[in-house]
Amino acid sequence: MGVGLVGFPLRNVLGLPKVIMKVFFNKPENLNHLIEQLVSLAETARRDGLLALESKSSEIDDPFIALGIQMAVDGTRPEVIEEVMRTEIAAMGARHKEGKKILELIGGAVRVRHDRHLARVVLMLGNLSDPDSIGPSMAVALIGTLYGALMANLVCIPFTEKLSIRSHEEAMAKEIILRGIMGIQSGDNPRPFSKS
């Protein structure tokens, strides 16, 4: 934790429990529901016009979809909509990378501590003139090495990998939303794409 506090601003480190909660409790995006919602919005827009989507805004629970629909209803140019939404996706990716980097830094520090314990073993073996101190010194060095290896390999590395997967899933969902909003704004027929 000390390494995290030195390497990152305090607010980022204090947000680490929230990042760790995402590892265990993050609900994956329901892509089928997302696509169905976008298809429904596209059908309404084709049938009744883009302005009809304004009345459906209360039914939209995803703030990213609501942002895109609101910009489309307001008559924002397609390239501006895409730029704003891509900026949101990039900001989300940057937030995810921050949390992941803190865990990577802590895992790296644990591995450095592991190396320090190995150095302690080397120093202990250099002092073979006192055989009574070898056993306790070896036990302390090996227990520290074990704890460091467990922390790095069973906590930090798996957590960062799972956070990467979660980030990829969320980015994919946002990309689907972006393409759906662009299709709605341009008046594309959604049915050929709803099956895939």
Q: Residue 15 — φ and ψ, nearest 5°?
A: -85, 0
* Averaged pLDDT, 111-131: 65
pTM of this prediction? 0.75
SS3 188: coil
2 within 8 A of 13, measured Cβ to Cβ? no
pLDDT, tens only, 9-40: 888 888 888 888 888 888 888 889 999 999 99
180 within 8 A of 42, measured Cβ to Cβ? yes
Mean pLDDT of the chain: 83
Which of the four pLDDT bands, split at 50, 70 and 90, describes residue 181?
very high
CA separation for the pair 81, 71 (Å, rounded): 7
CA separation for the pair 49, 62 (Å, rounded): 21
CA terminus-to-terminus distance, the chain = 45
DSSP string over 77-111: -HHHHHHHHHHHHHHHHHHHHHHHHHHHHHHHHHH
CA separation for the pair 146, 81 (Å, rounded): 52
Which of the four pLDDT bands, split at 50, 70 and 90, describes residue 148?
confident
Nearest CA to 78 out of 187, 153, 164, 161 is that of 187
Pick left, alpha or beta for residue 96 (phi over 0 → left; psi -120 to 50 → alpha; otherwise beta): alpha
Which of the four pLDDT bands, split at 50, 70 and 90, describes residue 117?
low
